[in-house]
Structure 1
Amino acid sequence: MRVALLALPLLFAAPIHAADDPRPETRSTVAAPISYPATDKVPVTETLFGETVADPYRWLENDVRTDPKVAAWVAAQNQATDAYLATLPGRAAFKARLKQLFDYERVGVPEKKGGRYFYARNSGLQNQAVLYVRDSLNGEGRVLIDPNTWAKDGATALGEYEPSEDGRHLVYAIQDGGSDWRTVRVLDVATGRPLADELKWVKFSNLTWAKDGSGFFYSRFPAPDAAQQFQALNENQSVYFHKLGTAQADDRLVYATPETPKRGHSTQLSDDGRWLIVTTSEGTDNRYEVTLVDLADPAWKPRTLIRGLEHEWGYMGNQGTRFWWTTNKGAPRSKVVSMDIADAAPVTRDVVPEDSAVIESAGVVGGQIVLVYMVDAKSEVRRYDMEGRLLGKLALPGVGTVTGIRGEHDDAEAFYAFTSFNVPTTIYRLDMKSGTATPWATPKVAFDPSRYGVEQRFYTSKDGTRVPMFVVRRKDVTGPAPTMLWGYGGFNVSYTPAFSAARIAWLEQGGVFVLANIRGGGEYGKAWHDGGRLKNKQNVFDDFIAAGEYLIAQGITKKDGLAIQGGSNGGLLVGAVVNQRPDLFAAALPAVGVMDMLRFDRFTAGRYWVDDYGYPSKVEDFKVLRAYSPYHNVTAGKTYPAILATTADTDDRVVPGHTFKYTAQLQASDIGPKPHLVRIETRAGHGSGKPTDKVIEETADLYAFAAKWTGLEIKSGL
């Protein structure tokens, strides 16, 4: 099954999964003074559209790996943060319990190729998931790749992988230290031995095998300057074909757009293997061009099928020259169309019209169209025949999220994952003929899921918009309780019910977790996304603030019991709302956030994000960005909540300079006595590939900090 999701550099961060003092922890109402490390202020100013903008901490944008002064600042900040965290008695209890909660088997959705089943598995506390293969559906799995042997600190991970059509070979990507850069290798599946093939400077790339297994297509950037490989802008991505057994220098250039260097390109192969589908974008706004390369023609001449970067197009499958797509052209919540590419000017025909629900993913499996819809931020799966006639809906075990449906266009079986806040991710096998699903991998966890309830509520934002939220807590927690409010609100990314072992550690102590489905995401299609981006970005912050006010007004938490958390674009969210309403929150946990909205587009993948944020170089966008940029709007004279920001030294998605500068500004401002600290992880990036032990350590620190300032009493031995 092909889904309309490409290897784009989205600002994406998932919610954290990520000797004890036997006495319950109590919160001090008076914060002890903290002596922050000294941070040099360098008089840097710019006049932008008539406004003088100060940037005294610009030197903190330098790479910590090459600038000794920045490295010394990082070491001093971590020392100060570690000293404070060591005073929190709940930290050890959280860490011990998190180790227990993470110690359960986790299995990924299998992919079937050549009769073999490829899937990832973590036995529990392994730092990285291991890739297994089975030679039959219920056969014994054997280890194919164990990335835990690659690095002593566990920070080298298996990234993307794809088996060849016959299942004989596997191409896979190696991710080191959390970086977005990948090294690509090839494995002989029968022997488990890697081939000599090795590719560099691969990033934001699909790995697409040719039908005959002779090689694969991939996307790469030119090699950057060695000193700038983690900070330089990513431009001039091109598609290449690598033939097995040859050097990367001999790879064949398939598609490039040097006249438009900001464009990026992803690849897929048609079901019959004849056409390479190249999907081109310039940002993160799901506006694509589609180019076909006829692989039956030795010239591999590209033909642009859909021009204009105007709408979303997702390849689903084909039968000869008839192609099926999902698109939001004329359908903000998406629909399924078909076209005959043999026509000189193909026209689309509606197959499954737009619905009140949003199509989240789509594909052709076993001769059927399978659509995963999002209904009020919850999954619903429907099956259709190839002409769009409804065959039935998939029976799901409850309110939750379906992800990763995998199956071939001509196969009788498919696999998918189901998860919810209180349901660990379970893998199901779907019989395409009968439409029945049976569990294929069911986890056994160290807690009782039945103790926890999930409730969906709707609240009203500042402008009257109705916004959904999920409230998760122990069923016996009925009164006001310390609450963690989580949000994202951007890039058309939808956050739906999903299980997190880490979150259980907060819930079982009596805390509440709330996910607010604020505007900027894709929960209700294009209109919901558009309502929270560019000039409408303030709606995102208003929605989140309204969620906090609602939780207090409804007695779910007390005024001094609300912590907020978000990562990446969600880190920006946390930073912005703290500046706007510091009185509303007791604690704030912004992770890997975009904190300088006037310079975000100057580093690595930042230039892609102008679709959501706008251009700092344009006066209309500048005014909007300047008004909410977290770094530029810290307001002295107000009492801020306790803040523990997090980032990582090798984050080359949102460079750590964002958080460094933001932290320096917080610590230099008169914003009250509560701690304003930063936790800087080493050999970790934006989140992907982070080892389990680092996730546990970081989560224990964050939860202990939030517990301290929301009044959550931590009990050991639960």
Structure 2
Amino acid sequence: MKLTLPTLAIAAMLATSAQAQGLSYPATRQVDQVDTYFDTKVADPYRWLEDDNSAETKAWVAAQNAVTDKFLEAMPQRLPARRIYTELYNFERIGIPFHEGDRYFWTRNDGLQQQNVIYWAKSLKDSPQVALDPNGLSKDGTVALSGLAPSRDGRLLAYGVAGAGSDWQTWKVRDLATGQDLADKIEWIKFSSASWTADSKGFFYARYDAPKEGEALKGANYFQKLYYHRLGTAQADDVLVAENRDDKEWGFGTEVSDDGQLLLISVWKSAGSKNGLMVLPLPKGAFAGGKPQPITLDFDAQYVPVAAHAGQLIVKTDKGAPRGKLVSIDLKHPAPAGWKTLVAEGPDAMTGASAVGGRLLLSYLHDAATLVRVHGADGKRLSEVKLPGVGTASGFGGRWSDSETFFSYTSLTTPAEIHRFDVKTGKTELFKKPKTAFDADEFETRREFVTSKDGTRLPVFIAAKKGLKLDGTNPTLLYGYGGFDIAMTPAYSVTVAAWLKMGGVYVMASIRGGGEYGSAWHEAGTQLKKQNVFDDFIAAGEWLVKNKVASPATLAINGGSNGGLLVGAVTNQRPDLFAAAVPQVGVMDMLRYQNFTIGWAWATDYGKSSDSPEMFKALYAYSPLHNIKSGAKYPAVMVTTGDHDDRVVPAHSFKYTATLQAADTGPAPKLIRIETNAGHGAGKPTSKIIEERSDILAFIAHTMKLEVK
């Protein structure tokens, strides 16, 4: 973190301060701002911190970082934690290969490269060629690759880049034969990839209109439109394919069918999993204009296109099946009354489906661990993909005509391995296994089950050194998310490995709000039922204490984004249960989150404070910003955010930290670590990842007085 303000400006802010454990917090100016929600007046004294571009806010950021840097630099755990993290991060990482045209594509990082490099090869035995190295796009590595899409003939590569952690992308096209970019340049893209037509002459993408000079990107011009870009033409000449001016929450995701004859359009309205589905014919594999035809625009369930084959559209849906099923739709008669069930709902949650080699590959979660089953085109179950153990498998992409597919497998103690699956023979072979400084044989992972406040049973995964002694003294880090239908499944990360090597226990809780058990599990942790998420996480912490894995003096919690909200809310509700809490880029102001950038899209999970008195009351009751308990003894807290985060804007973390520091919450430190020139996390360069995450682990270890060697 670099300080850019003069020393006197920082000193002035430090002049008046609160005291805690020898810390002097910056004085944060308060304003007389009061909002009224259904006859309830709510003060918002730090409203001015919502303007992250103001000189005063930038001075506040510099002052806070000065305090945090001084505290972190004094911790004896900081340097050894960073050394351990760097050693463990320094290993070759290979992405899942995929095939397009006559080329294979995959990503690779040699260990400490700031960004992953894109490679291609004509065969898996050939020496790979560099398709794109994002490390040359900026000096500090903050310009990151945000997406890539090879043309159907494998000759061209469309790719998106984003700077300083922003969600905004610019897309370009590279000729792989020459290694040079074409003149094509597509701007104002957010939350979209690119889908090539089969003739490789252009691609579909979604974007927003560019704002006029001096105009904020919101309101009338802040809604997505679907376009087709033909190579060699200006973006201004791109053809508008779809928009909805009457419902500006519409967004578009696209995929061209394997035979190239159909554009499949998923229409989203928010961050929820319910969507609409449309199709657009592409005669002879080319775009000839026309208006997309709806399959369903009821937005009453999830509809994920899997394959278009022999006049049938295969769709994964949870319509009438909370755990998911496959249906077949006759494209000549697509009315829902004629849909046929191809694979019925089962006891496990169907989380993914693909069509490769004339087979349907269906991924399920069984108590938050992956199972993959193989079905014929008629839906009949044929076999199961053999996985290395109880963990997480992902990938299985490809086309109807392919004979192979690739997938990765990982667990809390197993770095991601890449496997090749032969669809015809059903045989799996190891393609790439990373070599790391982490000795997985020293550790083990077990799955336990916790009972929540209302009797709901939920899985937790516990990774620890073999022969762990259960005496309540183990430094333990509990992680959770609990939202947006996102399943938390066991997966290796350097953060897990580093914490284990430092002598800790790592626990991941699969709580309601996620997608571990299907849509009903997700909905049980949304809107007026959001408290279930916090109850589940608290129950996991209580279970760890009761079973003497940890104690309140050795238990820390961590989560990011929606998981940052989780940590903030749970810290307020049970400050006595934890020794340390690290909310990362959290949604902390539940009354105003919808007012910033893409925040409106989260209302499907959260509800809005303006919806009804009941909804306001529910949000106000758990909002981390509004429920800090002055007079209670809080754990040590370190908030993290990025000053350029345009998804969960930093104002959430700024206002929460200012409120926390102003309250009487005991002597433990209440800090904020603000990464400069950084956003929500995607595309963050390796050096910043190592610095931030090792600081988090060092802060937790320091709180628990854990010696790190």
* Smaller-chain TM-score bracket: over 0.9
Which amino acid letter does the alignment assign opposite residue 40 of structure 1?
Answer: R
After TM superposition, give the deviation of residue 416 of structure 1 in Å: 0.9
> 2:670 aligned with 1:681, yes or no?
no
Q: Residue in 1 aligned with 2:11?
A: none
After TM superposition, give the deviation of residue 509 of structure 1 in Å: 1.9
Which amino acid letter does the alignment assign opposite residue 175 of structure 1?
Answer: A
Q: TM-score, normalised by structure 1?
A: 0.94
> 2:194 aligned with 1:194, yes or no?
no
Alignment of 1:289-368 (within 5 A): 289-296=276-283, 298-343=288-333, 345=335, 347-368=338-359
Which amino acid letter does the alignment assign opposite residue 33 of structure 1?
Answer: G
> 2:610 aligned with 1:617, yes or no?
yes
Relative distance call for 1:41 and 1:674 in structure 2 (3 A) is: same
Alignment of 1:123-272 (within 5 A): 123-224=110-211, 235-272=222-259
Contact 1:232 1:604 (8 Å CA) reproduced: no
Alignment of 1:341-490 (within 5 A): 341-343=331-333, 345=335, 347-479=338-470, 480=472, 481-490=474-483
Contact 1:231 1:655 (8 Å CA) reproduced: no
Contact 1:166 1:213 (8 Å CA) reproduced: yes
Which piece of structure 1 moves more, 631-640 or 31-40?
A: 31-40
Relative distance call for 1:233 and 1:56 in structure 2 (3 A) is: farther
Contact 1:235 1:263 (8 Å CA) reproduced: no
CA distance in 2, matches of 1:407, 1:279: 19
CA distance in 1, matches of 2:334, 2:539: 52
Q: SS state of the match for residue 616, structure 2?
A: helix
CA distance in 1, matches of 2:170, 2:59: 30
Q: Residue in 1 aligned with 2:642?
A: 648
Q: Residue in 2 aligned with 1:9?
A: none
After TM superposition, give the deviation of residue 557 of structure 1 in Å: 0.6
> 2:86 aligned with 1:99, yes or no?
yes
**1:156-190 C-alpha deviation (Å, 9 max, x unpaired):** 11111011111011100001111000000001111
After TM superposition, give the deviation of residue 526 of structure 1 in Å: 1.0
Select which of 48, 57, 77 maps to 1:59.
48
> 2:701 aligned with 1:707, yes or no?
yes
CA distance in 1, matches of 2:567, 2:216: 29
After TM superposition, give the deviation of residue 50 of structure 1 in Å: 0.8
Relative distance call for 1:228 and 1:37 in structure 2 (3 A) is: farther
Relative distance call for 1:568 and 1:228 in structure 2 (3 A) is: farther
CA distance in 2, matches of 1:87, 1:345: 66
Q: SS state of the match for residue 317, structure 1?
A: strand
Contact 1:234 1:604 (8 Å CA) reproduced: no
Q: Residue in 1 aligned with 2:666?
A: 672
**1:75-127 C-alpha deviation (Å, 9 max, x unpaired):** 00000000111110010001111111111000001120112011110000001
**1:637-676 C-alpha deviation (Å, 9 max, x unpaired):** 1011100000001111100000000000001111111100
Select which of 495, 498, 519 maps to 2:491.
498
CA distance in 2, matches of 1:41, 1:193: 53
Which amino acid letter does the alignment assign opposite residue 254 of structure 2?
Answer: T
Contact 1:94 1:704 (8 Å CA) reproduced: yes
CA distance in 2, matches of 1:31, 1:310: 51
CA distance in 2, matches of 1:329, 1:442: 39
Relative distance call for 1:163 and 1:299 in structure 2 (3 A) is: closer
Alignment of 1:513-532 (within 5 A): 513-532=506-525
Which piece of structure 1 moves more, 664-673 or 339-348?
A: 339-348
Identify which of structures 1 and 2 has the higher relative contact order when contacts are C-alpha pairs closer than 8 Å and 6+ apart. Answer: 1
- Give aligned pairs, total: 684
Relative distance call for 1:226 and 1:499 in structure 2 (3 A) is: farther
Contact 2:241 2:289 (8 Å CA) reproduced: no
After TM superposition, give the deviation of residue 476 of structure 1 in Å: 3.5
Contact 2:20 2:666 (8 Å CA) reproduced: no
CA RMSD of aligned residues (A): 1.5
Q: Residue in 2 aligned with 1:17?
A: none
CA distance in 1, matches of 2:703, 2:221: 40
CA distance in 2, matches of 1:42, 1:227: 27
Q: SS state of the match for residue 545, structure 2?
A: helix
CA distance in 2, matches of 1:486, 1:522: 16
CA distance in 2, matches of 1:331, 1:340: 20
Q: SS state of the match for residue 539, structure 2?
A: helix
Contact 2:588 2:652 (8 Å CA) reproduced: yes
Contact 2:295 2:334 (8 Å CA) reproduced: no
CA distance in 1, matches of 2:20, 2:26: 18
Contact 2:242 2:291 (8 Å CA) reproduced: no
After TM superposition, give the deviation of residue 193 of structure 1 in Å: 1.0
Q: Residue in 2 aligned with 1:116?
A: 103
Contact 2:116 2:133 (8 Å CA) reproduced: yes
Unmatched 5+ stretches in structure 1: 1-29
**1:329-367 C-alpha deviation (Å, 9 max, x unpaired):** 110000011011111635211111001011111010000
Relative distance call for 1:72 and 1:54 in structure 2 (3 A) is: same
Contact 1:601 1:607 (8 Å CA) reproduced: yes
CA distance in 2, matches of 1:586, 1:409: 52
Relative distance call for 1:50 and 1:633 in structure 2 (3 A) is: same
Contact 2:556 2:580 (8 Å CA) reproduced: yes
Contact 2:482 2:562 (8 Å CA) reproduced: yes
Which amino acid letter does the alignment assign opposite residue 653 of structure 1?
Answer: R
After TM superposition, give the deviation of residue 230 of structure 1 in Å: 8.1
Unmatched 5+ stretches in structure 2: 1-18
After TM superposition, give the deviation of residue 231 of structure 1 in Å: 8.3
CA distance in 2, matches of 1:361, 1:470: 22
Q: SS state of the match for residue 298, structure 2?
A: strand
Select which of 262, 275, 281 maps to 2:262.
275
Which amino acid letter does the alignment assign opposite residue 461 of structure 1?
Answer: S
Q: SS state of the match for residue 406, structure 1?
A: coil
CA distance in 1, matches of 2:185, 2:159: 10
> 2:21 aligned with 1:32, yes or no?
yes
Q: SS state of the match for residue 665, structure 1?
A: helix
Alignment of 1:7-26 (within 5 A): none
Contact 1:168 1:190 (8 Å CA) reproduced: yes
Select which of 38, 41, 44 maps to 2:30.
41
Q: Residue in 2 aligned with 1:14?
A: none
Contact 1:405 1:416 (8 Å CA) reproduced: yes
After TM superposition, give the deviation of residue 559 of structure 1 in Å: 2.1
After TM superposition, give the deviation of residue 710 of structure 1 in Å: 2.2
Relative distance call for 1:55 and 1:225 in structure 2 (3 A) is: farther
Q: SS state of the match for residue 309, structure 1?
A: coil
After TM superposition, give the deviation of residue 295 of structure 1 in Å: 2.1
Q: SS state of the match for residue 82, structure 1?
A: helix
Relative distance call for 1:32 and 1:402 in structure 2 (3 A) is: same
After TM superposition, give the deviation of residue 447 of structure 1 in Å: 2.1
Q: How much identity, in percent, do the aligned residues show?
A: 48
CA distance in 2, matches of 1:686, 1:493: 17
CA distance in 2, matches of 1:88, 1:230: 43
After TM superposition, give the deviation of residue 505 of structure 1 in Å: 1.3
Q: Residue in 2 aligned with 1:568?
A: 561
Q: SS state of the match for residue 131, structure 2?
A: strand
**1:558-591 C-alpha deviation (Å, 9 max, x unpaired):** 2211100000000000000111111111000000
CA distance in 2, matches of 1:298, 1:680: 49
Q: Residue in 2 aligned with 1:627?
A: 621
